[in-house]
Amino acid sequence: FMRVTVIGSGYVGLVTGACLSDLGFKVVCLDKDEDKVKMLQAGEVPIYEPGLKELLSRNHAEGRIRFTTDAQLAIDHGDILFIAVGTPAQEDGSADLAHVLSVASMVGRNLKDFKLIVNKSTVPVGTADRVRAAVKHELTQRGMSSEMFDVVSNPEFLKEGAAIDDFMRPDRIVVGIDDGIHHEKSQRMMGDLYASFNRHHSRTVWMDVRSAELTKYAANAMLATRISFMNEIANLADALGADVDQIRRGIGADNRIGYSFLYAGCGYGGSCFPKDTQALVNTAQAHGQLMSVVGATEQVNERQKTLLVDRLVKRLGDDLTGRKIAVWGLAFKPNTDDMREAPSRVVIKSLLERGAHVTAYDPVAGHEAMMALKLDCVGQETLLNNFTLVAHDMDALHGVDALMVLTEWKNFHNPDFQAMKLSMRTPYILDGRNLYNPDALADLGIAYQGVGRRNELINLSVEPVMLETSVLNA
C-alpha cells in the first residue's frame, strides 16, 4: 500500500492531494506557510475551485489527507513525493526554479530510504536533472547512498474551474521515466498510483523525462495558439463584415480541427498560458532556436487585451473623464478567482488612466481583483479612487456609459436586457466573450460590439456628462 506526500499546497498540490486521497491513498500535504496549513486543517481552502473544499473536507474527516509544515514527517510518510510548488516567470520570461530546487534539497536532507520524486510542477526541459543533482548533493553531504531515489516527470493538465473532473477523468496521463537502475520500480509505482484510471483502457502515455517536460509546454502553447489565431480571424472578420461565430462552426466541423479553443474574445490569461508560452520561447532561445509561432501568439494576445478599450475610445474619445464604465467579470475565466494575467487588469487600469470611473462585479474574484489592482496601481494609488467593486451585477450598471463583459460567468449569459437598458445611461455593450446575439440586442435598441460579430453600432448616442468621482469601495 503506497503512501503519497504532496509538497506545495497551491492549486496543483491541493487538487492532486484531494483527488488521490479520494482514491483511497493516505496523503500528507506539506507547506511551509503555517497560516495556510492552519486554514486547511480548519477546513478552509485558500483558492476557489468548484468541489475542492468539499472533497478536502470529506477526506480530511475520514483521515485520508492531512496537512503539515513538518518536512521530516512528510518525507518519511510518502513512498511517492510530488513536487507541486510554483514556478513563476522571471523578468526574462524564463521559469523560476528556486522553489523546485529548494524542495529537492530539502528532500535530500531528510531522505532515509527509497523515494520516488515526481515533478508535478510545470518546469523547463532538464529540470529533473537539476532536481536529481540537488538531491544527490545533499545525500553525499550526509554520507549516504546517492542511488536511494528516482526522479520522474508527471506534468498536470488541469483546467481551472474543472480541475477535479480533469484529474478524475483524464484523457491522458503523461509519465516520463528515464532508463536507469530504478526504471522498472518507478514505472511499477506510477502504474499502481494511476491504476484506477487504466482499468478499462490505458490512459497512461509513457515516455522519457525530457519529452514529458516538453509535452506540457507544447500542449499549452498549442492551445494558446488556437486562441490567438481565432482572435486574429475575429479582428479580420470585423474589418470584412463577417461573423466569427459562423466561421468557428465552419472550421470546427473539420475533424482535423475540432471546436475546442476556437472561441474569439478579449485575450487569454491565467497561471498557465502566458507563463508557459514565455518559458517555451525562452527555452528555445537558450538553445539557439526561434519559436516564431509561439512568439506571435503572445504578441497577438497582448494586443487583444486592449481591443475593447480601443473600441470604447473610438466612440467616446480618449479622455474618459466623467464617464462611468461597468465591467462584468474580473477573473481570467469563470469558476475561478484567479486574477493572474487576467485581461480585466489591463482593461480597468487603462480606463482609470483615461479618467473613467469603473464599477465592477465578479461573483467570486472580487477580493483577489482588489489585491491585483492595488499591485497594478503601485505609484498611481489615486487611480483606485475611481474604482468601485459592487456586490451584484445590476448594481454596476446604474448610469453607466457602457458595459464591458470580460468573463463568461454563467449568470451573465441571460440577463434582463430591458432592465439593463433602463439602468444604463447609454445602452452600449462591449462583449469581450461573445455571449450575446447582436441581432436580438439591435431589436432591443442596445448598441453592441462583440469580437468578430459584425460590429455595426446602432442607436448609440453619447454626450459628455461629468460624474462625481466615487471613493474606493474595497
Task: Lay out the sheet containing 387-389: strands in order across.
Answer: 387-389, 357-361, 324-328, 402-405, 428-431, 447-449
Residue carrying C-alpha cell 530510504: 113
CA 458 distance to own-chain centroid: 36
Q: How far apart are CA 148 and CA 450, in angstroms?
A: 58
DSSP state, residue 46 = S
Q: Which of 86, 90, 111 is nearest to 33 (CA)?
A: 86
Q: What is the CA radius of gyration of the chain?
A: 25
Cell numbers given for 363:
461573483
Q: How far apart are CA 466 and CA 474, in angstroms?
A: 24
Q: Are 81 and 7 in contact (CB under 8 A)?
A: yes
Q: Which of 357, 429, 430, 413 is nearest to 389 (CA)?
A: 357
Q: How far apart are CA 308 and CA 77, in angstroms?
A: 52
Active-site annotation, residues? 272
The pairing of beta strand 324-328 with beta strand 204-207 = unpaired
Structural element, H or E, at residue 237: helix 209-240
Q: How far apart are CA 394 and CA 222, in angstroms?
A: 37
DSSP letters of 12-64? HHHHHHHHHHHTT-EEEEE-S-HHHHHHHHTT--SS--TTHHHHHHHHHHTTS
Q: Which of 298, 327, 287 is nearest to 126 (CA)?
A: 287
Q: Are 406 and 266 in contact (CB under 8 A)?
A: yes
Cell numbers given for 308:
475593447
Q: Residue 7 to residues 13, 83, 302, 452: CA-CA distances in angstroms? A: 7, 5, 33, 44
CB-based contacts of 75, cutoff 8 Å, min separation 6:
5, 81, 106, 107, 110, 111, 112, 115
Q: How far apart are CA 130 and CA 143, in angstroms?
A: 20
Q: Are 466 and 258 in contact (CB under 8 A)?
A: no
Q: How far apart are CA 177 and CA 186, in angstroms?
A: 7
Cell numbers given for 234:
475575429
Q: Which of 116, 113, 106 is nearest to 153 (CA)?
A: 116
Residue carrying C-alpha cell 446575439: 437
